[in-house]
Amino acid sequence: MKYAAIKNFYNGEFHESSAETLDVTSPLDGNHLSTVPLSSKSELDKAVESAKSAFDGWSNTTIKDRVQVFFRYRYLLEKYADELTELVTEENGKTLDEARAEIDKSIELTEFAVSLPQLVAGEILEVSRGVECRTEHFPLGVVASIAPFNFPFMVPNWTMPNALALGNTMVMKPSEVVPLSAQRMAEILKEAGLPDGVFNVVNGGKEVVEGICEHEDIDAVSFVGSTKVAKIVYKAATSNLKRCVALGGAKNHLIVLPDANPTMTAENVTASMSGCAGQRCMAASAMVAVGEMNGIIDRVCEEARKVVPGKNLGAVISKEAKERIEGYITQAEKDGAKILVDGRGATVDGKEGGTYVGPTVIDYVKPDMSVATEEIFGPVISIMRTDTVDEAIEIENANPYGNASSVYTDNGGMARYVMERASAGMVGVNIGVPVPREPFSFGGWNESRFGANDITGKSSIEFWTKLKKTTTKWNPEAGINWMS
């Protein structure tokens, strides 16, 4: 085992768990990296108690002081960027470039958090003679963040810097499949000078998540993962009267019009569907080709063949994931679709224990096939063909998810037409992965997000705080009126 056994983190220290453990294995080669505890609810209680005890001290520090920790945290992310990149690659299986992008994005997220003092200043107005109303953002208390496997470092950084800078204390529950990055994050925050108890980590699975949703001392829950679990978490947290935002799965459509630039479109489609081995909630999963494609699909195939497992394509997370993805491809073939590029059975020499799926292009997919409707979460693009843009929009709109959608065209009017009608929270024009950069917020629509707020950016300020409205009168000569 390459790393020591994963521990929980509370009261500023690592604590060994007495719970049963799971093995943590690298998808790159099957190597045994560590073990992770499936912590019990009583271990969660200890972390919540730690966060609760730290809340008064931390929330009574000014925001300008709190963000000083995050200036240092940002510096440390740069200092440790190479080491963190390798850690993310090892535990998740993505390429080094993709892992490095996670660290870079975490730096950008932290830069947003340090700008929060500029954004959260309240408002003040003399509402009647001598009487003022003012607003201020107050932290909620102890908040929880539950993360998925596909971005072991970035997704925890979607929530942690903003929630903490705004004065909350946090319990983080990383994915039990990739627990190493969050453990390192706790160490780096301590080195940055974060007071003990402000950030805590409890490792585990379903039992810890259930405990979070029920816990009377947790005020808000953020979740990122599959739609199936997002629904469970949203229902459980809100039925226990907690604030909740739960981001779910995705099935993102790229609508390609005949006038699209062939080279740019083919490169974008391929990069979007195969980046992070298709395990991104923003990955293109379906391409709707409208009318005559002028060789664009041939070029997508050419580009896809340049994407090679073990070289510029990482591994998928597990043996089960590989089997599931290959099962979808086989089903599409049985249903009559045409496999133009086939990634089944991919292996990498010297890494026989790794779990790889090659890039896969499937053409002549019908809108009711499982590869057209379901989230595959692998490097697979399902191409459907339509005669009109309205038919393409109908297919996109019929999907229950609504994370991202993009249109490829050289015609501004057509781009606007699709952008207005796409049923997705994040829309791209000639962009394959339309992730909003800070300060714009991240969040889908429909079954890709439950709850009123986005998870990052300005929208997250409303999620992580409650607004206090204070009305003040000092001078008796201001008099009494109908509002006094």
Q: Which residues in this chain contact ligand NAD in the complex, by CB under 6 A?
A: 146-150, 155, 173, 175-176, 205-206, 209, 224-226, 229, 232, 247-250, 281, 375, 377, 403, 444, 448
Query: Exposure pattern of 93-132 as b/e (b: 16+ CB <10 Å)?
Result: bbbeebbbbbbebbbebbebbbebeeebeeeeeeeeeebe
Selected catalytic residue, list 213, 244, 276, 281:
281
Helix or strand (DSSP H, E) at 245: strand 243-247
The four Cα atoms 311, 316, 319, 323 give a dihedral, to 10 degrees, of -100
Tell me the two tokens of residue 395: 């297919």
CB of 305 to ligand NAD, least distance (A): 26
CB of 431 to ligand NAD, least distance (A): 17
Instruction: Give the nearer residue to ligand NAD in terms of CB position, either 183 or 403.
Output: 403
Instruction: Give the nearer residue to ligand NAD in terms of CB position, either 165 or 232.
Output: 232
Instruction: Give the nearer residue to ligand NAD in terms of CB position, either 146 or 307.
Output: 146
CB of 101 to ligand NAD, least distance (A): 14
CB of 92 to ligand NAD, least distance (A): 11
Strand residue runs (E) in 302-456: 338-341, 360-363, 380-386, 404-408, 426-429, 449-450
CB of 472 to ligand NAD, least distance (A): 41
- Give the Cα-Cα-Cα angle 454, 117, 218 (nearest 5 degrees): 50
Using alpha carbons, select from 231, 235, 236, 237 the residue that is nearest to residue 249.
231
Cβ–Cβ < 8 Å for 142, 200: no
Instruction: Give the nearer residue to ligand NAD in terms of CB position, either 113 or 147.
Output: 147
Distances (CA, A) of 457 to 351, 462, 468: 40, 10, 21
Catalytic-residue membership of 301: no
Distances (CA, A) of 17 to 44, 50, 197, 278: 11, 16, 17, 34
CB of 449 to ligand NAD, least distance (A): 6
The one-letter amino acid code at 431 reads I
Instruction: Give the nearer residue to ligand NAD in terms of CB position, either 66 or 280.
Output: 280
Instruction: Give the nearer residue to ligand NAD in terms of CB position, either 40 or 409.
Output: 40
What single DSSP character describes residue 394?
H
Residues designated as active site: 281
